[in-house]
Structure 1
Amino acid sequence: MTSGLIDVHAHHLPDFYVQQATAAGHDHPDGMAAWPAWSVRDHLDLMDRSGIETAMLSLSSPGVHFGDDKAARLLARRVNTYTAVVARDHPGRFGNFASLPLPDVDGALEEIAFALDELGADGVALLTHTHGVYLGDARLAPVFAELDRRGAVVFLHPTSPVCWKQSALGRPRPMVEYIFDTARTVTDLVMAGVLTRHPDLRIIVPHCGGAIPVLADRINEFMQLFVPAQETPPRDAVQQLRTLYYDIAGTAFPRQAPALLQLADPARVLFGSDYCWTPAPLAETHIAAIDAAEPPAEGVTWRSLTTANAQRLFRRAAARRTIWRKNPTPS
């Protein structure tokens, strides 16, 4: 293993978070049988076995907002501070994508400032929607304007769609619903013009883009039909989608990653394990498939490609985190 992987799609589950989410009714999150176990030690063990140098920790679904804005703000602050301490106590091994209490816009703006300026977070994590507010919604415009102003890294993660009771057909939502909710919110970002208005956003789309690679040309065709032609510059959906970053968490091989490369620039492909929601043995199987796959280009491996891409993407955040470590806020 010549390149230490940088895992942009890695999840943690602090005990206090699981307790609050369970109390809010998420005892079978997104239709799964139970919450997985997680600890810093177990996560480091997986990383060491698999040649992962750094894991960027984030919360997965269902996020921090369970219906009450004040409670969501408090939980986001507690999660983000906890994660910053984990990163501080294990230099170079963990990073931090901060959770935001959306759809509470004022609370989200406050948490962006605290997480990036006070905690040295590497970026923020956004669910594909929160209580039905998808990411192209005009109500979220101040959030994207602030993230764009900061040139922030934004990690997207799917959650159950609002129609899951009808569409999931009684099966765990991560299997299929996550893939299509990713496509739904990315399409919303494109059609609503969020990406063209905010060119300094650096957005990571999970799971090889979900269904986006096979829908890209269809989305582009509909955009030409329904977006006013007089808009300047004209919106090209495929061009916009190529500005995004994509992780290869999940079942990337043998079919998803090759399909992704029909859309995405190889310089925008990143590694993801999806641990701990993907159990360690299965995560290791996925990593073995990455190592065994045909190289993405001559002279590079999937490890070297994704690691170099991540190093470029997180250069600013790494410098900010170095400054923060000299005078950390949380104790």
Structure 2
Amino acid sequence: MPSGFIDVHAHLLPDFYVRQATAAGHTHPDGMGSWPSWSVEAHLDLMDRNGITTAMLSISSPGVHFGDDKAARLLARRVNEYTAELTREHPGRFGNFVSLPLPDVDGALEEIRFAFDTLRADGVTLLTHTHGVYLGEERLEPVFAELDRRRAVVFLHPTSPLGWEQSALGRPRPMVEYVFDTARAVTDLVMAGVLTRHPNLRVIVPHCGGALPVLADRVDEFMRLFLPAQEPPAPGGVQQLRGLYYDTAGTAFPRQVPALLNLVEPDRVLFGSDYCWTPPALADAHIAAIDAAESPVGGATWRSLTTANAKRLFPGRSR
């Protein structure tokens, strides 16, 4: 294949993490039937089969904080060191989006320093909320200030929203709840002014932006109605959303990517497989659909386009 994907939405599940999460009560994570199987060998096999050069690894929901700050710090450190070791053992094949023990702000700041200064992390992954603390909350301001100072890539990932016991109607939360919690969290970032206060953040929104492409104008209108006027005027909601990056994890075609392209330019779209939470057969099918879809840029394929976009975002990953 002429261009190898850079996969910005890829998950690892080391055994020690699954054991600790299960012991904390996550037997059926986010309403799924069970934990998926994962191994380095199986992940590399999927990558080779689908022409993926590099996978940026992250821990998905339910994250690393199960209620105890100290335990969360230890688990975040163990996961991050484990992933960094994989990047060293398989140069060029894996990258590292580190986990932070939020909502423990002091622990998160300590882990950011270690991750970037010692592990040379490619970015961080943040859940849409942790124990009800959404990303626009004022207590998280020191975390975003430090990430902004480091011009960090911030990969967002949804988790089960508060009140899922009623809203999910007994169904797996990744089906619908994830989509709306992504929209909720990003809207919170916009409305709270996090993105305008910290313009050096490079934020990746998963799953083609979830519900954001069809809600963007509504968010923009409510910003004008309910936020006080500023001098100079703050960027509107649509303008802020256009400045983010979006990955293609999940059912990108035939409907989600066309909706996304009504919001952002093609240079803001990145490839994501969502492996291992997306089973191999489905991941293969999703990638085949991306390869078969017509690119919005003449002379480019979705494979070459998203890879070029990722290489600009991660110049150290260019090969």
- For the superposition of Structure 1 and Structure 2, which TM-score range results when normalised by the shorter chain? over 0.9
Contact 2:92/2:317, CA 8 A, preserved across alignment: no
1:168 and 2:168 correspond: yes
Structure 1 partner of 2:295:
295
Alignment of 1:177-326 (within 5 A): 177-315=177-315, 318=317
Q: Is the 8 A contact 2:96 2:121 kept in 1?
A: yes
TM-score, normalising length: structure 1? 0.95
Which digits, 9 at most, give the CA deviation of each residue in 1:221-275, with x for residues without a partner?
Answer: 0000011123433230000001100001100000000110110121110000000
CA-based RMSD of the aligned residues comes to 1.1
The aligned counterpart of 1:56 is 56
* More moved, 229-238 vs 112-121: 229-238
Q: Which amino acid aligns with 1:131?
A: H
- Equivalent residue, structure 1, for 2:43: 43
User: The residue matched to 2:278 in structure 1 has which SS?
Assistant: coil
The CA deviation string for residues 267-304 of structure 1, in whole angstroms up to 9 with x for no partner, is 11000000000001100000000011111221111000
Q: Which amino acid aligns with 2:91?
A: P
Query: Hey, what's the Cα distance between the residues in 2 that align with 1:98 and 1:233?
Result: 35
Residues 124-143 of structure 1: pairs in structure 2 closer than 5 A: 124-143=124-143
**For 1:133-168, what per-residue CA distance to the aligned partner results, in whole angstroms no more than 9, with x for missing partners?**
000111100000000000000000000001100100
Mapping 1:28-177, distance limit 5 Å: 28-177=28-177
For the Cα contact (< 8 Å) 1:11–1:58, is it kept in 2? Answer: yes
Percent of residue pairs bearing the same amino acid type: 80
Give the corresponding residue for 1:328: none
Retained in 1: the 8 A contact 2:196–2:234? no
- Letter of the 1:53 partner, please give it: T
Paired amino acid for 1:189: L
Tell me if the contact between 1:122 and 1:318 (Cα under 8 Å) persists in the aligned partners: no
Matched residue pairs, number?
Answer: 319
Structure 2 residue matching 1:173: 3-state secondary structure: coil
Deviations 1:73-131 (A, max 9, x none): 00000000000001100000000000000000000000001011100110000000000
- AA of the residue aligned to 1:161: P
Q: What's the offset of the Cα at 1:318?
A: 4.5
Unaligned runs of 5+ in 2: none
Normalised by the size of structure 2, how large is the TM-score? 0.99
- Counterpart of 1:28, as a letter, is H
CA distance in 2, matches of 1:190, 1:82: 33
Alpha-carbon distance in structure 2 between the residues aligned to 1:205 and 1:27: 27
- 3-state DSSP class of the match of 2:7? strand
Classify the secondary structure of the residue corresponding to 1:70.
helix
For 1:72 and 1:232, the matched residues in 2 are separated by: 41
Using the TM superposition, give the Cα deviation of residue 11 of structure 1 relative to its aligned residue in structure 2, in angstroms. Answer: 0.2
Residues 231 and 26 (structure 1), Cα distance of their counterparts in 2 relative to 1, 3 Å cut: farther
Q: CA deviation at 1:43?
A: 0.2
- For residues 122 and 199 of structure 2, the distance between their equivalents in structure 1, rounded to whole angstroms, comes to 18
Q: Distance in 1 between matches of 2:198 and 2:163?
A: 29
* Gap runs ≥5 in structure 1: 320-331
Describe the SS at the equivalent of 2:246: strand
- In the alignment, which residue of structure 2 is the partner of 1:327? none
Distance 2:171 2:296 in 1: 34
Over 3 Å off, 4+ runs: none
Aligned residue for 1:221, secondary structure, equals: helix
Counterpart residue number, 1:9: 9
Deviation per residue, 1:181-221 (Å, 9 max, x gap): 00000000000000000000000000000000000000000
